[in-house]
Amino acid sequence: SGGYRTPASRRAPPALAAAHSNIRTPYVYGATGPSSFDCSGLTSWAYAQAGVGIPRTSEAQTGAGTRISSMGDLQVGDLVFFFNDLHHVGLYAGNGQVLHAPRTGTVVRYESMSTIGGPFMFGVRV
C-alpha cells in the first residue's frame, strides 16, 4: 500500500485522465479549453468530460462536493484549493502532487503542492 489511496469516486479517475490529456496546454486567463485553460477552466472541463457539471470559478467550485480539511485525507481526483481567497484550484494527483493550470506564461502541469506559492486551504470531493 505505498500510500496510494483508492480514487475519490467513479467520476474522479476520468476527470484526472481528461486533465492529464491536456498536459502542456497553455494557461490563458478566463479560458475553459480545450486549446487553453485557466485553473478553474481546467477543473470544470475535466469533470465535464467525466459527465459531471461543476461551477466555473474556483470560488464556486468550493461548494461542488464534500469538503476535505486534511491533506492526508485527499484522494486522487479531489479538487484542491489554495490561497486565502481561494483563487486557485487544481486536481489532486496523489503523492502530494497537483495537476493544474498555474498562471499566465505557464502550461498545464504536475507540481508539488508545496511549491504552489500559497497555502493549501482544503479539498473538495466531487
pLDDT in tens, 51-94: 999 999 999 999 999 999 999 999 999 999 999 999 999 999 99
What angle separates helix 12-20 from helix 39-49, to the nearest 10 degrees?
120
pLDDT category of residue 8 using cuts at 50, 70 and 90: low
pLDDT category of residue 42 using cuts at 50, 70 and 90: very high
Q: Given 39, 54, 89, 126, which residue is catalytic?
A: 39
Is there a domain that residue 45 lies in? yes
Say how many domains are in the chain: 1
Is there a domain that residue 96 lies in? yes
Is there a domain that residue 3 lies in? no
Is there a domain that residue 41 lies in? yes
pTM of the model: 0.92
Residue range 96-106: mean pLDDT, rounded = 97
Q: Given 12, 74, 88, 120, which residue is catalytic?
A: 88
- In three-state secondary structure terms, 113 is helix
**Which residues are paired to 88 by β-bridges?**
82
Q: Among this protein's residues, is 88 annotated catalytic?
A: yes
Is there a domain that residue 6 lies in? no
C-alpha cell at 40: 478553474
pLDDT category of residue 32 using cuts at 50, 70 and 90: very high
- CB distance 106 to 27 below 8 Å: yes
Is there a domain that residue 5 lies in? no
pLDDT given for residue 10 in this prediction: 82
Domain of residue 32, CATH code: 3.90.1720.10
Name the DSSP letter for residue 55. -
**Which residues are paired to 122 by β-bridges?**
81
Domain encompassing residue 77: 12-125
Q: Given 43, 100, 124, 125, which residue is catalytic?
A: 100
Given phi > 0 = left and psi -120 to 50 = alpha, else beta, which region is 86?
left
Is there a domain that residue 29 lies in? yes
Residue 2 has pLDDT above 80, yes or no: no
Residue range 20-49: mean pLDDT, rounded = 97
- CA terminus-to-terminus distance, the chain: 24
Is there a domain that residue 86 lies in? yes
- Chain centre distance of CA 48: 13
Q: Among this protein's residues, is 87 annotated catalytic?
A: no
